[in-house]
Each structure stands twice: as C-alpha cells, then as structure tokens.
C-alpha cells in the first residue's frame, strides 16, 4: 500500500539534509558550479608613459608597470595571444604638460592618442577602452575644471566631449567617462553620433565612489602629489546605494552602452543591485588599492595570493559582472590557459 504523496513528502522532509553530497568530489563540484571565470571576462588596464623602450615599475603596485607606447604595443600583442578581449589605457602625463585646464587632454599627439593608434595598427582586433577625464592632465589633480575651489560641471563636460572625439578619431572602440560630471554621457553620445562615430560605444563609470582605494592608481598616473582637496563633491558617497541606481539610470537614459561600478570588492552589493534592476552589461573595476592589498598580503605570506586573486574575480562574476577591469588580467589569463 502506497502512502499519500503528502505523507511521503513529510517523511522525506524529516530526513537530515545532506548538501555535502554535491561537494564530495571535484567532478561533483564542477557539475554544481554556478559561476565560472574565463579569459573573456578580463579587461587589462595599462599605463602609458613617455619615452621609448620604457618599462617602469610602480612601487605601490608590485608587478604593474608603466610602458612607453612601443612597449604598450608589445603588451597588447601578449594580451591578444592570451585571449584577453580588451585593454583600458591610462596616461602618465609628464608634469611639464599638466596645467590648470588639462589642455594636454586635447592634444591629438598625447600619450593616449599615440597609444591607441600604435596598438590598433599592430593588434587591430583587440578592443581599446579609453578614459575620459581631466585628472591625468591637470596640475590640481581634479577630473574637471576648477574655479574658486569649485568643480565646474558644464564647462568640464564641453572639454570632455572634445577629449572623447579625439580618442574616437584615434581609433578607440569604447569611450569610458570616469569624471562623474552630470550630463556628460548624453553630450558625448550626441557628439560622437554627429561626427560619424555611431559605432563607438560608451562605458560609463556610472557608480564611482569617493574611495580610499585609489591611491596606487594616482601614483601610477602621477597625480597623487598634485591633488588639491578631495573629490567628494562629484564622486559618490560610500554610504549610498540607492543613489547608485539613480546614477546608472541617468547614464543609460543618456545613451550609455555599458555601466561600471568602481571600486569593486567593497561594492559587490551595488554591482548586484545594478544588474538585477537594469539587466544591462555591467562591469566593475578591481582598483589599484584592492590589487595592492592582495599583493602585499601575499608577499608577507599572510594569504595565498593566487587563490585570493581568483576568488575575488569569481566574486565579481557571482555578483553579476559581465566583465572586470583588473591588473591581474595577464596573470589570470596565463593561469586559465595553463601557461603560468
């Protein structure tokens, strides 16, 4: 005689749950794995500096270097060989070329424009993402124009539009405004379309927080000693989450193709909320301070650096990221390919 269905279910519910059965062996864990990290998830940020034949170590970012344009081309070749789909380029502008208005950002022969052209000529199929902001070019270290201690929003946007057009003309595939000025995405989109660059995408730094984790990056681009004050009037308050959704919504409405959350690990909750709410291509930047912490702890034997590196990147995937900007990109790519 068979028990009624509800009785059979009640009987099974009385049994101890054994979720460990699905973890008993590596093959079983592979079958149950919900998220996977692949080389296609990686974007490699590269710093470009003046000169020729230059590979210059960055003291606060062990294993990361500034490259002259010719050496950046070699890194692009390596990235393509490893299957990394895209590079993000950042300049270390010489101090004598920095001024109050960041005028070097509008020089068609600046480091970034030369880097784009050289990389595209040598490795045409790799994606190039370029930063649109004035902080690598200003003598005061801010992302925008300054008057009497105030960051000028609309005047800055006008300059950013011109900067974006120069980068598109040089061959950039994705324009990535990181400045956090209001309205810049719409202005850049309109200008790109009018100039015949309708196929150039925009990756908006939509939720960029006024974070303590940017220090080593500022060393890398040479702005750590120039920044006057802080960026709290235009970058987001780390206490806020709902505001991030409003920022993302505005950037999408203005024409952003992709959105980014920055920093990464301290803001996994923001990544998840953005992805769940908007279901759009969502990226994160594992910033310099995150990288430096992992490297410093690993060098002191406090953690297994390789495992921590992979675990943090997998956490981005679990949170909902479609792609990750990370200084670990070439190292991870070699690991995934069995070339480490």
Please, which residues bridge with residue 304 across strands? none
Alpha helices in 279-328, H assignment, sequence order: 288-299, 305-319
Q: Which of 24, 30, 120, 208 is catalytic?
A: 208
CA 325 – CA 285 distance, rounded (Å): 5
- Tokens for 185? 């995405």
Catalytic, 30? Answer no
Within 10 angstroms of residue 212's Cβ, the number of other Cβ atoms is 10
Query: Which residue from 60, 88, 62 is spatially nearest to 75, judged by alpha carbons?
Result: 88
Q: Which of 120, 231, 262, 317 is catalytic?
A: 262
Please, which residues bridge with residue 132 across strands? 177
Please, which residues bridge with residue 87 across strands? 44, 128
Question: For the residues of 91-122, what is the DSSP string, one character each?
Answer: E---GGG-BTT-GGGG-TTSHHHHHHHHHHHH
Query: Which residue from 83, 81, 90 is spatially nearest to 46, judged by alpha carbons?
Result: 90
Catalytic, 262? Answer yes
End-to-end CA gap in the chain? 62
CA 268 – CA 57 distance, rounded (Å): 30
Give the residue numbers annotated as catalytic, written as ranges.
208, 262
């Amino acid at each position: 005689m068979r028990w009624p269905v509800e009785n059979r279910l009640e009987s099974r519910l009385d049994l101890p749950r054994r979720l460990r059965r699905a973890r008993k062996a590596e093959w079983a864990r592979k079958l149950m794995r919900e998220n996977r990290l692949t080389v296609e998830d990686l974007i490699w940020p590269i710093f470009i500096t003046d000169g020729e034949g230059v590979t210059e170590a960055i003291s606060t970012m062990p294993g990361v270097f500034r490259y002259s344009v010719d050496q950046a081309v070699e890194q692009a070749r390596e990235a393509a060989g490893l299957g990394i789909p895209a590079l993000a380029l950042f300049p270390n502008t010489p101090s004598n070329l920095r001024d109050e208005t960041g005028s070097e950002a509008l020089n068609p022969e600046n480091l970034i424009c030369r880097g784009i052209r050289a990389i595209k000529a040598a490795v045409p199929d790799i994606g190039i993402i370029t930063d649109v902001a004035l902080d690598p070019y200003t003598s005061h270290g801010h992302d925008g124009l300054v008057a009497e201690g105030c960051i000028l929003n609309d005047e800055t946007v006008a300059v950013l539009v011109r900067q974006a057009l120069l980068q598109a003309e040089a061959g950039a595939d994705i324009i990535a405004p990181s400045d956090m000025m209001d309205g810049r995405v719409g202005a850049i989109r309109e200008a790109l379309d009018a100039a015949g660059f309708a196929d150039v995408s925009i990756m908006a730094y939509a939720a960029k927080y006024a974070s303590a984790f940017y220090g080593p990056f500022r060393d890398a681009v040479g702005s750590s000693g120039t920044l006057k004050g802080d960026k709290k009037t235009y970058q987001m308050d780390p206490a806020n989450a709902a505001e991030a959704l409003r920022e993302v919504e505005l950037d999408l409405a203005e024409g952003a193709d992709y959105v980014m959350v920055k920093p990464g690990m301290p803001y996994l909750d923001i990544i998840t909320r953005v992805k769940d709410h908007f279901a759009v291509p969502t990226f994160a930047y594992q910033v310099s301070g995150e990288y430096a912490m992992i490297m410093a702890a690993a060098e002191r034997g406090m953690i297994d650096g390789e495992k921590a590196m992979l675990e943090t990147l997998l956490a981005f995937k679990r949170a909902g990221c479609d792609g990750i900007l990370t200084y670990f990109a070439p190292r991870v790519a070699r690991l995934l390919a069995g070339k480490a």
